[in-house]
A and B are shown apart, each in its own frame.
Chain A
Amino acid sequence: DTGVSQDPRHKITKRGQNVTFRCDPISEHNRLYWYRQTLGQGPEFLTYFQNEAQLEKSRLLSDRFSAERPKGSFSTLEIQRTEQGDSAMYLCASSYRGDIYEQYFGPGTRLTVT
């Protein structure tokens, strides 16, 4: 069990560019979550998957955001036409449905939009 991993750990991009983040959950976990955390705030829920199905999306997930989990393993979060307000830490977590409420978090991807 290597834990939840995220790549990249840091991303600096210019406003208007597209970015994509990857999350690899713990291997036997079938639920995967994305959160966004801005400075001085708690993480805010964005979306979650059970296997490859995206079951819930927050209102925070605007049309510029899209998440996928094509084979029920790793997931990607893409932000199109980035804005300065997108600067944040993007956290991924996973859980096993047999213990669905205990989530294990990755280290996060810090996005800076200049």
Chain B
Amino acid sequence: AQSVTQPDIHITVSEGASLELRCNYSYGATPYLFWYVQSPGQGLQLLLKYFSGDTLVQGIKGFEAEFKRSQSSFNLRKPSVHWSDAAEYFCFTNFGNEKLTFGTGTRLTIIP
């Protein structure tokens, strides 16, 4: 069955440290992959997306993600986090024909 997994429910990172949020999918082909961020009281905002081509994609707010077919992963990274990055992050997949699935989310806490 098609699925997407975010193994980390909650991550705490010091301000200025690097960040990696994990996303794994289960599917027989490469789905369309996205990362969204949800801040308290805010709507979901698209950070970046991957359809095909270059496996390292750049997004907004200094985020990037790398697609690894061999690991069925699409991990989100940021070299240096800011306090404003504290939020909930969701990996989202479109398995084709609008089979749309969000991961359960990773809550990011930033400590000074």
Q: Once bound together, how far apart are the Cα atoms of A55 and B43, in whole Å? A: 24
Question: In the assembly, what is the distance between CA of A33 and CA of B98, in Å?
Answer: 10
Contact yes or no, A48 B98, CB < 8 A: yes
Given A101-B32, A101-B51, A102-B49, decide whether A42 and B43 contact each other with a Cβ distance below 8 A: no
| Cβ contact within 8 Å between B101 and A101 | no
Which chain B residues border A44 with CB–CB below 8 Å? 102
B87 at the binding interface (Cβ < 8 Å): no
- From the candidates A33, A43, A55, name the one contacting B90 in the complex (CB within 8 A): A43
Chain A interface residues toward B at CB < 8 A: 4, 33, 35, 40-45, 48, 55-56, 91, 93, 101-108
Determine the residue in chain B with the shortest Cβ distance to A93.
Answer: B44
Q: Please state if A42 and B49 are interface contacts (CB–CB under 8 Å).
A: no
Interface centre among A40, A101, A102 (most CB of B within 10 A): A101
Asked, given contacts A4-B43, A105-B44, whether A43 binds B49 with beta carbons under 8 Å apart, the answer is no
- Cβ of B89 to closest chain A Cβ, rounded Å: 10
Query: What residues of chain A lie closer than 8 Å to B84, measured between beta carbons?
Result: none
> Which has the most chain A C-beta neighbours within 10 Å: B43, B94, B103, B104?
B43
